[in-house]
Chain A
Amino acid sequence: MHNNESFYLPQVAEVVGIKEFSPREKFFEIKMPEGPLGHQPGQFVEVSILGVGEAPISVSSSPTKDGDTFEMCIRNTGSLTNKLHQLKVGDKVGIRGPYGVGFPVHDLTGYDLLFVAGGLGIVPLRSMINYAVDRRSEFGKITLLYGSRTPSDMLFAEDIEHWKKVPDFNFMPTVDVADESWGGKIGPITRLFDDLKFDPSKTMSLVVGPPVMFRYVLKAMLAEGIYESHIYLSMERRMKCGVGKCGHCQMDYVYVCQDGPVFPYTRVRNLQEAF
């Protein structure tokens, strides 16, 4: 009992870049006051505007990225994210973290990677996708299944164009509702498994999406022969403190902010409140 440093104190970071991805989603590039954030792919930060509030947000960039900034993609969905959307380059935000357990990058090396992203699930997955792309030689084949509601809901268009040019990177999108511009697959993300060829013993799957997606995607993946022990997923919960105290993110006995947000599927498959 000798720690006098309060972990609730945010660092004051600067917004150095903003892109508008859609009317609902904005992309922020953030510079910490002292050097890089020092995160692992899949970790999160607590983002705040003093006087408005604080929320857990996934880090969307890879630590392998050039420069000492990090990136987040934020949907405007509540009072804090609404204020975040009004920020301009040069404005300040509070950052705590990085927190939680990210993707096990060292355990994944040497394997083929199968990314399964539903909706906003692409946001935390991008940190790991870019990590693998930046260290291309350390990983086998990369496949990204990406399901969106409509073509205009697809995020990271620039990244996608870049990923398509990466050797042995197979990008497979699908949408629930197509428009005239869409020439690809239509239907749930599980439909993409029909065209998927993979070697189960050599493939690690990384799955992020809304709770409803986990339910049917995991079922379909196991039916396709993917090993349970080769699946990692990232769970979204309401981490208020980020450090295992406040109780909001607790599912069964697990604090998602401490033991997750990235979990091996084998760790959470029997938790009653996971899916």
Chain B
Amino acid sequence: MLLKAINKEDLAVFVDNLIKGYDEVVGPVPKEFKYVFSKIGSSAELALDYDSTLLPPKKHLLPQREVLFSFDKADGIEIEPNLDATKRVIFGIHSCDLASIWLMDQIMAEGNADAHYLTRRKNTFIIGIDCGKPCSENSFCKSMGTLKPEGGYDLFLTDLGDLYAVEVGTNAGEELLDNGSFYPASYTIKDRFFETWRGKLHNFPDRIKFDTEKLPALLTESYNDLLWDVLEERCFDCGACTTVCPTCYCFDVFDVANLDLTSGERARKWDSCQVQNFAEMAGGNNMRGKRSDRLRHRLFRKGKYFKEKYGKFACVGCGRCGRSCLAKIDVMEIFNRLK
């Protein structure tokens, strides 16, 4: 691992150079009493001590609504794909969200590669930052194995007080270094870096009360548990959990015709397996017609299906769903009830 360092007072110049050198720099900025990932015009807008953002950074890789292609039927049929190759830097992503981007990369590249996601992703540079301390009572990143990033970033910054230690994850990350006053990390800095991480791993609580390697088996056993029926009584079908989830990527595909009725576009937008008609078919059959079916399906995706396929959980423990649920349904609590 290539470890560099940058003094804190030099970080602003680095960010401002990125803003000058790339099409778009996105980072965490305050919004009312919370934070959001948003395009910035100056390093001064960044809030690098943010706890968590309302939405994960996925919206900059898989936008809420995205045009797949536009068409014009006026003179024959012309179809024009829409691929976003904006040179974009996302600055300040925490390790939980980095894990989710790694997962999304696997899914979108596997089999039939999704050119819309991958074009955007290929042109996006990812700079992560250490979150320092637990961001809320709902987060359980350590239990899900996402506290320490294992990749998925070009650069990753760890706060060491007067400077940041900078892990370089990719060749693209190494090129980014040209934009700032980075220098090789000395032995002293490396020792402080190791010490900081030892302390961090110790300071984060184990909020899942069992070894999460057992989670897929526990979920399988729970398939017909009354738990799902109890949760059904509380769930409102609103889909907030999937909207704020960094690993939820399901989408709907739909057409929009322009007023001339000869041109328009085909687009996709985020969809939610928690809403009633998600799996409904033309004849009205619906394999997940009940809320309990849908809740269980989401939890099985997060804690079982992906783990069995990719070796990683599709829950990164960020806690956003627990924080945003009107009915206070909390994935962490559900997992803990399985034991």
Contact = CB atoms under 8 A, between A and B. Distances in A.
A251 B273 CA distance: 11
Interface string A61-97: 0000000000000010110010000000000100000
B118 A237 contact: no
Given A4-B119, A8-B69, A246 B250 contact: yes
A6 interface: yes
B250 A8 contact: no
A273 B119 contact: no
A55 B81 contact: no
B178 interface: no
Q: Which has the most chain B C-beta neighbours within 10 Å: A10, A53, A75, A246?
A: A246
B305 interface: yes
B89 to A, nearest CB: 18
A54 interface: yes
A6 B265 CA distance: 14
Contacts of B77: 12, 50, 92
A50 B266 contact: yes
A145 B105 CA distance: 46
B218 interface: no
Interface in A4-56: 4-10, 12, 48, 50-55
Contacts of A12: 77, 79
B278 interface: yes
B254 A53 contact: yes
B115 A5 contact: yes
A188 interface: no
A1 B285 contact: no
A248 interface: yes
B253 A241 contact: yes
A236 B286 CA distance: 11
Contacts of A250: 273, 297
Given A5-B115, A211-B285, A245 B108 contact: yes
Contacts of A237: 279, 281, 287
Interface residues of A, number: 44
A51 B108 CA distance: 26
B264 A245 contact: no
Given A3-B113, A244-B111, A238 B264 contact: no
Contacts of A6: 68-69, 81, 83, 115-116
A6 B68 CA distance: 8
B113 A240 contact: no
B112 to A, nearest CB: 4
A243 interface: yes
Nearest to B108: A245
Nearest to B69: A9
B281 A238 contact: yes
B313 to A, nearest CB: 14
Contacts of B297: 250, 273
B50 to A, nearest CB: 29
Nearest to A8: B68
Nearest to B72: A50
B283 A246 contact: no
B58 interface: no
A77 B280 CA distance: 13
Contact of A51 (B71, B122, B223): B71
Given A3-B118, A8-B266, A247-B271, A240 B253 contact: yes
Interface string A243-269: 111111111110000100000000000
Given A7-B112, A245-B108, A246-B250, 6 more contacts: A1-B122, A54-B266, A243-B111, A245-B107, A247-B273, A250-B273
20 contacts: A3-B113, A6-B68, A7-B112, A7-B114, A8-B116, A8-B266, A48-B266, A50-B77, A50-B264, A51-B257, A51-B264, A52-B257, A78-B282, A92-B77, A210-B285, A238-B279, A245-B112, A246-B252, A250-B273, A253-B304
Q: Which 6 A-B pairs have the closest CB atoms?
A: A247-B250, A51-B257, A243-B112, A3-B113, A253-B305, A6-B115
Interface of A: 1-10, 12, 48, 50-55, 75, 77-78, 81, 92, 210-211, 236-238, 240-241, 243-253, 258, 272-273
Interface of B: 68-69, 71, 73, 77, 79, 81, 83, 105, 107-116, 118-119, 121-122, 223, 249-257, 261, 264, 266, 268, 271, 273, 278-283, 285, 287-288, 293, 297, 300, 304-305, 308-309
